[in-house]
Amino acid sequence: MRHESHVQETSFHAGGKGYNARRALNVGDVVSPLTGKIRVGEPTVYSVQVSRDEHLDPENLHFLNHSCVPNTFLDTKASHVIAIRPIAEGEPLSFFYPSTEWEMGNPFSCECGTAACLGTITGASALPASVLERYALNAHIRELIAERDGVEALVTD
């Protein structure tokens, strides 16, 4: 099934770019398809990790920003961006980068400004399971956490 994109590129006063919701979205709505070329190798500033060894260079979502309190989830299995809470028309869209990234290609200091802000974002590998369990995570991240921590993978699908 082909899904329409409900994102609109925007520029921020500080010079960065991002996306806003083109219309109001409900929990579970597909915000955008996730498309691009799959490649094996190191992550880049724009890539999305879709398995242990593969990254997607998204042709349509280079500027989807991080938040420690995100409103979307990148479902790498279904190749969709999904609303995980109600999103108002015009609201900036964000996702939790460690939900797809084991180790970030470009770690950074988060400036989401929320009370739940984690500070420096380096990927899921640097976060304890007690933090990660608060988020929707892709299967490859759950598997890597289980291996790291010597436990069975969390199943949340």
> Which two three-digit tokens encode residue 129?
């399971």
Query: Could you tell me whether strands 36-40 and 54-58 are parallel, antiparallel, or unpaired per DSSP bridges?
Result: antiparallel
Highest mean pLDDT: which of 7-16, 40-49, 107-116, 120-129? 120-129
Is the CB of residue 3 less than 8 Å from the CB of residue 33? yes
Q: What is the pLDDT of residue 91?
A: 96
Is the CB of residue 76 less than 8 Å from the CB of residue 140? yes
Q: What is the pLDDT of residue 111?
A: 87
Q: What integer best gives the mean pLDDT of the chain?
A: 90
Encode pLDDT of 36-79 as tens digits: 988 888 888 889 999 999 999 988 888 899 999 999 999 999 99
Is the CB of residue 59 less than 8 Å from the CB of residue 36? yes
pLDDT higher than threshold 90 for residue 155: no
pLDDT higher than threshold 70 for residue 120: yes
DSSP assignment letter at 86: -
Reported confidence tier of residue 110, pLDDT bands at 50, 70, 90: very high
Other C-beta atoms lying within 10 Å of the C-beta of residue 149: 12
Determine the Cα–Cα distance for residues 104 and 21; give it in Å rounded to an integer: 25
> Which two three-digit tokens encode residue 30?
């597909």
* Helix ranges (DSSP H) in 10-137: 129-132
Q: Which residue has the higher pLDDT, 95 or 154?
A: 95
Reported confidence tier of residue 6, pLDDT bands at 50, 70, 90: confident
Q: What is the pLDDT of residue 12?
A: 73
Q: What is the pLDDT of residue 41?
A: 82
Q: What is the pLDDT of residue 13?
A: 62
